Amino acid sequence: MAVRAKKQFGQHFLRSSDTARNIADCLPMVCPNCLEIGPGMGILTTQLLEKNINLKVIEIDGESIDYLLANGIIDPSCCIQGDFLKLPMPQFFGGQQFMVMGNFPYNISSQIMFKVVENRDFVPALAGMFQREVARRICSPAGSKEYGILSVLVQAFYDTTYHFTVDEHEFNPPPKVKSGVMSMVRKENYTLPCDEALFFNVVKTSFNQRRKTLSNSLKKILNDNKLDDSIGQKRPEQLSVEEFISLTNTIAEMLTKK
Ligand code: SAH
């Protein structure tokens, strides 16, 4: 039984078990539980099952689920049919922490990452494949051209590593873009030394108007306060995570003084 790839689910199936093994080997083994998002026909699942972990999979496509079960690739008790974005994170492993793995559906990459960051208490590590630019963005340092919201929000809580690039011809059907494999491990102390809600707001608002200086783009948050030119004249891609934290503290102080 063959499953035909469906565009609406962002399906691009990996062809080579060697590549799947190389991706699975990027998973930092920091926890006994692992959730694979989008197993498709199970090429990565098979590699993950070789490892000493409790694996569950979540897949939106009923036809893929039927294939996985009919071929005995995974036990029905470890197989969830559903939309990863719609299910509450704590329920996957009964309130326990779990690693996240996948050859992720590229059309919802950012949403997957934002959900993981939001639920960071449950996710000590993640590894897998995204569109190459997204994988690079997650891992890139301040000042690089890919640096953006995802880089700052992920790197505030996780140490990230870019592993390798995968060519489009390794997939069926081939995507239009190259793919990149990355991993990330939650920092030992991942509580930020600033107001976290304000930090998210400052980072998102700064990058929403990427070309503007921070003084301009943050006007709404600043409420008539003025940033010092040494920081206010900068653009968001110039600020490291630490500088965003200190900017958040500066703004918090300004707002309480008023
Ligand atoms: N891991 C497989 C398939 C990758 S394609 C392989 O490497 O070959 C991405 C997979 O994610 C598809 O099987 C698709 O059906 C699934 N998917 C897409 N959106 C999803 C969602 N919101 N929740 C869970 N799975 C999803």
- Calculate the alpha carbon distances from 45 to 42, 102, 134, 197, 210 in Å: 5, 9, 23, 36, 39
The pTM assigned to this predicted structure is 0.95
> Could you tell me if 50 and 70 lie in one domain?
yes
- Total of domains in the chain: 2
Which of 135, 156, 186 lies at the terminal end of a domain, its last residue?
186
Residue 227's Cβ-count burial label (10 Å; 0-12, 13-18, 19+) is buried
pLDDT of residue 90: 96
Nearest CA among 21, 13, 19 for reference residue 38:
13
Q: If you measure from the C-alpha of residue 40 to the centroid of ligand 1, how many angstroms do you get, rounded to a whole number?
A: 5
The whole domain housing 250 covers 196-257
CB 105 within 8 A of CB 61: no
Residue 191 falls inside a structural domain: no
37 and 122 in a single domain? The answer is yes
Asked whether 43 lines ligand 1 (CB < 6 A), one says yes
pLDDT in tens, 109-165: 999 999 999 999 999 999 999 999 999 999 999 999 899 999 999 999 999 999 999
The answer to whether residues 225 and 143 belong to one domain is no
Atom of ligand 1 nearest to the CA of 9: 18
Say whether both 109 and 151 belong to one domain: yes
* Mean pLDDT of each 10-residue bin along the chain, 258 residues long: 82 96 98 98 97 97 97 97 97 97 96 98 98 97 94 98 97 95 98 97 95 94 92 96 97 88
**Do residues 222 and 254 touch, judged by C-beta distance below 8 A?**
yes
Domain identity same for 96 and 172? yes
Is residue 169 located within the same domain as residue 225?
A: no
Q: Which atom of ligand 1 is nearest to the CA of 14?
A: 8
Q: Which helix or strand (DSSP H or E) is residue 126 part of?
A: strand 125-131
